[in-house]
Structure 1
Amino acid sequence: MPDFLLYEQEGPIATLTMNQPEQRNPLTGNSAIPELLAAIERIHGDRSVRCVILTGAGPSFCAGGNIRDMRRQASPEVSEMDIRDDYRRGIQRLTLALFNLEVPVIAAINGHAIGAGLDLACMCDLRVAAGTATFAESFVRLGIIPGDGGAWLLPRVIGLARASELAFTGDSIDAGQALEWNLVSRVVPGEELMATARGLAERIVRNPAHALRLTKRLLRESLHTRLDSALELSAVYQAICHKTPDHTEAVDAFLEKRPPRFR
Structure 2
Amino acid sequence: MLRRSVMGAEAGDRKYEEIDYRVDDGMAVITLDAPERRNALRNQMLRDLADALDRADRDPEVRVVLLTGAGASFCVGAELHGPDTLIAALEEDTPGHTPTGYREPGGRVSERLFDMSTPVIAAVNGDAVGGGASIIAACDVKIVSSTARFGFVFTRRGVVPESASSWYLPRLVGLATAADWLLSGRIFGADEALTAGLITRVVPPEEVLEHAVAYAHQFVTDTSPTSVALAKRLLMDSWRHATPRQASEVESRVYASRLRSSDAREGVLSFLERRPATFGPFAPGPDERF
Partner of 1:163: 178
Q: Unpaired segments of 5 or more residues in structure 1?
A: none
* Identity of matched residues, %: 34
- The farther-off stretch of 242-251 and 131-140 is 242-251
Measured against aligned partners, the alpha-carbon deviations of 1:6-53 in whole angstroms (never above 9, x if no partner) come to 11112121111000111121222x411221121122122112211111
| Cα distance, 1:95–1:177 mapped onto 2, change above 3 Å | same
- The residue that corresponds to 2:274 in the other structure is 257
Q: TM-score, normalised by structure 1?
A: 0.89
- Tell me if 1:213 matches 2:248: no
Q: Do the aligned partners of residues 255 and 64 (structure 1) sit closer, same or farther apart at CA in structure 2, a change above 3 Å counting?
A: same
Partner residue, 1:59? 72
Q: TM-score, normalising length from structure 2?
A: 0.81
SS in 2 for 1:52: strand
Q: What's the offset of the Cα at 1:62?
A: 0.8
Q: Structure 1 pair 86/7, CA: closer, same or farther in 2 (3 Å)? A: farther
Query: How many residues matched?
Result: 260
Distance 2:184 2:171 in 1: 19
C-alpha distance 150-103 of structure 1, shift in aligned 2 (>3 A): same
Structure 2 residue aligned with 1:24: 38
Q: What is the one-letter code of the residue matched to 1:243?
A: R
What does residue range 146-225 of structure 1 map to in structure 2 within 5 Å? 146-205=161-220, 206-225=222-241
Alignment of 1:30-109 (within 5 A): 30-68=43-81, 71=84, 84=98, 88=103, 90-109=105-124
Aligned equivalents of 1:245 and 1:70: distance in 2?
58
How many angstroms apart in 2 are the aligned matches of 1:164 and 1:224? 21
Taking a change above 3 Å as real, the CA distance of residues 160 and 203 of structure 1, as seen in their structure-2 partners, is: same
Q: Does the CA-based 8 Å contact 2:66-2:121 persist in structure 1? A: yes
Q: In the superposition, relative to structure 1, how do residues 250 and 158 fare at CA in structure 2: closer, same or farther (>3 Å)?
A: same
1:8 equivalent to 2:52? Answer no
Q: Distance in 2 between matches of 1:79 and 1:219?
A: 32
| Distance change in 2, residues 1:72/1:257 (3 Å) | closer
Cα distance in 1 between the residues matched to 2:117 and 2:237: 11
- Is 1:235 the counterpart of 2:270 in the alignment? no
Measured after TM superposition, the shift of residue 254 of structure 1 is 2.1
Distance 1:183 1:73, change over 3 A: closer
User: Whole-Å Cα distance in 1 between the matches of residues 256 and 36 of structure 2?
Assistant: 50
The 1-side partners of 2:226 and 2:191 are apart by 35
Distance 1:170 1:185, change over 3 A: same
> 1:113 is matched with which residue?
128
Give the letter for the 2:23 counterpart. Answer: Q
Q: Relative to 1, partners in 2 of residues 1:154 and 1:79: Cα closer, same or farther, differing over 3 Å?
A: closer
Q: In the alignment, is the contact (CA less than 8 A) between 2:149 and 2:187 conserved in 1?
A: yes
1:255, distance to aligned residue in structure 2 (A): 2.6
C-alpha separation in 2, matches of 1:64 and 1:58: 15
Task: Check whether the contact 1:253–1:260 (CA below 8 A) recurs between aligned residues.
Answer: yes
Higher mean C-alpha deviation, range 132-141 or range 184-193:
184-193
Cα distance change on mapping 1:109 and 1:245 into 2, 3 Å: same
Provide the rounded CA distance (Å) in 2 between the counterparts of 1:232 and 1:69. Answer: 53
Gaps of 5+ in 2: 1-14, 281-290
Q: Is the 8 A contact 1:100 1:220 kept in 2?
A: no
Decide whether aligned partners of structure 1 residues 104 and 144 sit closer, same or farther in structure 2, where only a CA change above 3 A counts: same
Contact 2:92 2:104 in 1 (8 A): no
Partner secondary structure for residue 218 of structure 1 = helix
Relative to 1, partners in 2 of residues 1:204 and 1:131: Cα closer, same or farther, differing over 3 Å? same
Q: CA RMSD in A?
A: 2.7
- Return the alpha-carbon distance in structure 2 between the equivalents of residues 157 and 109 of structure 1: 17
Amino acid at match of 1:31: Q
Quick one: distance in 1 between partners of 2:192 and 2:206?
20
CA contact (8 A) 1:210 1:241 kept: no
Given that 1:176 and 1:187 are in contact with CA atoms closer than 8 Å, whether structure 2 keeps it comes out as yes
Deviates more, 1:93-102 or 1:234-243: 234-243
